[in-house]
């Protein structure tokens, strides 16, 4: 008996490993959505696209249909009550994905409104079955099935609708069709709705107006058979249709690069020394300081040094235009024109209107992938946040965290600048509470010494190891940032910005003569 049990267990184990059915994935036709659904939409799945009017449900279904329909395995698009099919075609053909050559042989639009108006759900089902058997489609869309539900059915009940959906699901699965039912639903209707239990996939689409901007979000509430990326994903509707922006920025399948011992030079020798040889590759560095302390100069030297060493770089600027940024770098003897021409440097000017933080970050990520960037400068985080619509600012830190995590995971070294208010009672690193996002923090600040406003620099933290504890004075010269080779001695309370000079006995000394 024990032997038999072991034998069955062994057989089950080997069967599960070898005979597991392979679910083919179909392209969604929506940029960014394949990654969100875990590689593509499972073939033969029965899906519901739900959302409020205007949320993009029909466009999503059209993109899927145009991406998958062929003459051999066409798509059947059943229109019911609601948008006129003629007008739907009028508007949908404005999208670039709409290929008129696919009509009518690969994509057939069939209007069922008469059947719905005059007959019952059973007749609707019969009509769909008749067309499916005649056409053998790979894709079936019913747009919108909710309008059928709203039509009063004689003697119908929730069970009648459930039965309709259940039978439709069973039939279409048997006919090896991947199906979309489109329905207008409010968010609270999604909970405990038995109709949704039948569906293999449930796509929830929404648009929320916040102040003057609109945020479009997509959530895969469920998807049987494979792991989708959880959470709300931003999407946009452009001339090309929907474009989705995964919360993982398309990097969820990428292997993390193993930690590197390599140090990257910032291009400021004394700073490299203070950091124990430079910035650890793959780190996120935060440079903080008040306006005019030289954060952008330091960032420019970091990117220019990378270019000099053959490491392509991206600079994302928000507060000045790329030409102005390059011109300013030129005034410090750093040539950013030539690397832009030869494709090793991209200066991205990102002043989006109503763009989500994910879209903006997606643009940065695309640029990183496009030129194989090893270094990224974000100048500055304050500008980045201000460039976003108010509705997106709430997500800023969370999205920034995801982007930094994703990019540093593939070995990109990021240097971000952030402006802090100069305080003479505190020593803040950032007003954004984002210090936790960074591996290394370099703090720049003004100090008042002997009637002069001078600048000091200190390495606050380096997650990757030891670093200099020195407080060094520095200057911004025509060659960029130049740091003193010795720490600033004979002063205490330097970080307050109002230091006190100590005499040779270590006692405080007045800095200025008494009046």
Provide the binding-site residues for another protein, judged by CB under 8 A.
Answer: 79, 84-87, 89-90, 93, 100, 103-104, 108-114
**Cβ closest to another protein, residue 111 vs residue 213:** 111
Residue 265 Ramachandran class (φ > 0 left, ψ -120 to 50 alpha, else beta): beta
- Triad 355, 380, 449: Cα angle to 5°: 155
**Cβ closest to another protein, residue 63 vs residue 293:** 63
Q: Which residues contact 104 (CB under 8 A, 6 or more apart)?
A: none
Q: How far is the CB of 107 from another protein (least distance, A)?
A: 10
As a whole number of angstroms, the distance between CA 57 and CA 188 comes to 18
User: For residues 149, 151, 154 and 158, what is the CA-based torsion angle, rounded to 10 degrees?
Assistant: 20
Neighbours of 247 (CB within 10 A): 18
Contact 266, 246 (CB under 8 A): no
**Cβ closest to another protein, residue 62 vs residue 108:** 108
DSSP 8-state class, residue 112: -
- Cβ-count burial 144-181 (b if 16+ within 10 Å, e if not): bbbbbbeeebeebeeebbeebbebbbebbeebebbbbb
Q: How far is the CB of 161 from another protein (least distance, A)?
A: 22
**Cβ closest to another protein, residue 81 vs residue 476:** 81
As a whole number of angstroms, the distance between CA 347 and CA 349 comes to 6
Residue 206 structure tokens: 């929404």
Q: How far is the CB of 110 from another protein (least distance, A)?
A: 6
Q: How far is the CB of 85 from another protein (least distance, A)?
A: 5
**Cβ closest to another protein, residue 11 vs residue 86:** 86
Q: How far is the CB of 87 from another protein (least distance, A)?
A: 7
Q: How far is the CB of 24 from another protein (least distance, A)?
A: 30
**Cβ closest to another protein, residue 79 vs residue 430:** 79
**Cβ closest to another protein, residue 92 vs residue 380:** 92
Residue 311 structure tokens: 């490491």
Inter-CA distances, 452 with 289, 445, 448, 497, Å? 18, 13, 6, 11
Q: How far is the CB of 100 from another protein (least distance, A)?
A: 4
- Nearest CA-CA partner of 455 in 476, 441, 428: 476
């Amino acid at each position: 008996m024990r032997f038999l049990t072991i034998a069955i267990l062994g057989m089950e184990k080997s069967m599960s490993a070898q005979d597991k059915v392979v679910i083919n994935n179909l392209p969604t036709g929506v940029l960014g959505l394949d990654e969100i659904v875990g590689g593509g939409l499972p073939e033969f799945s029965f899906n519901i696209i739900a959302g409020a009017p205007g949320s993009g449900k029909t466009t999503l279904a059209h993109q899927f249909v145009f991406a998958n329909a062929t003459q051999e395995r066409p798509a059947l698009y059943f229109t019911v009550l609601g948008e006129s099919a003629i007008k739907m075609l009028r508007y949908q053909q404005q999208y670039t994905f709409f290929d008129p050559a696919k009509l009518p042989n690969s994509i057939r639009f069939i209007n069922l409104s008469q059947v719905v108006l005059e007959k019952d759900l059973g007749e609707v089902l019969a009509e769909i079955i008749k067309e499916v058997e005649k056409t053998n489609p790979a894709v079936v869309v019913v747009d919108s099935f909710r309008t059928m539900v709203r039509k009063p059915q004689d003697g119908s009940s929730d069970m009648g609708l459930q039965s309709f959906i259940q039978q439709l699901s069973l039939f279409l699965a048997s006919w090896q069709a991947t199906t979309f039912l489109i329905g207008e639903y409010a968010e609270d209707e999604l909970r405990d709705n038995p109709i949704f239990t039948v569906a293999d996939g449930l796509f929830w689409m929404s648009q929320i107006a916040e102040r003057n901007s609109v945020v479009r979000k997509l959530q895969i509430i469920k998807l049987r058979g494979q792991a989708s990326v959880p959470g709300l994903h931003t999407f946009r509707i452009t001339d090309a249709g929907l474009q989705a922006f995964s919360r993982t920025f398309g990097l969820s399948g990428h292997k993390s690069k193993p930690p590197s011992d390599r140090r990257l030079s910032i291009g400021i020798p004394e700073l490299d020394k203070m950091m124990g040889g430079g910035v650890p590759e793959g780190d996120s560095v935060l440079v903080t300081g008040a306006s005019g302390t030289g954060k952008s100069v330091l960032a420019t030297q970091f990117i220019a040094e990378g270019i000099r060493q053959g490491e392509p770089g991206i600079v994302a600027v928000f507060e000045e235009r790329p030409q102005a940024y390059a011109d300013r770098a030129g005034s410090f003897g750093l040539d950013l024109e030539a690397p832009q021409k030869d494709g090793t440097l991209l200066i991205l000017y990102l002043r989006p209107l109503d763009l989500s933080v994910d879209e903006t970050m997606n643009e940065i990520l695309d640029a990183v992938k496009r030129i194989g960037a090893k270094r990224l400068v974000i100048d500055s985080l304050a500008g980045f946040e201000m460039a976003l619509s108010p509705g997106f600012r709430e997500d800023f830190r969370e999205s920034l965290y995801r982007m930094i995590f994703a990019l540093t995971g593939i070995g990109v070294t990021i240097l971000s600048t952030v402006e802090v208010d100069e305080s003479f009672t505190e020593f803040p690193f950032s007003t954004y509470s984002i210090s936790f996002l960074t591996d290394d923090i370099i703090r720049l600040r003004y100090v008042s010494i002997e009637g002069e406003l001078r600048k000091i620099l200190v390495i606050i933290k380096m997650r990757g190891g030891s670093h200099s504890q020195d407080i060094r004075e520095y200057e911004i010269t025509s060659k960029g940032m130049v740091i003193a080779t010795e720490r600033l001695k004979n002063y205490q309370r330097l970080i307050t910005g109002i230091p006190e000079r100590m005499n040779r006995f270590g006692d405080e000394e007045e800095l200025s003569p008494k009046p």
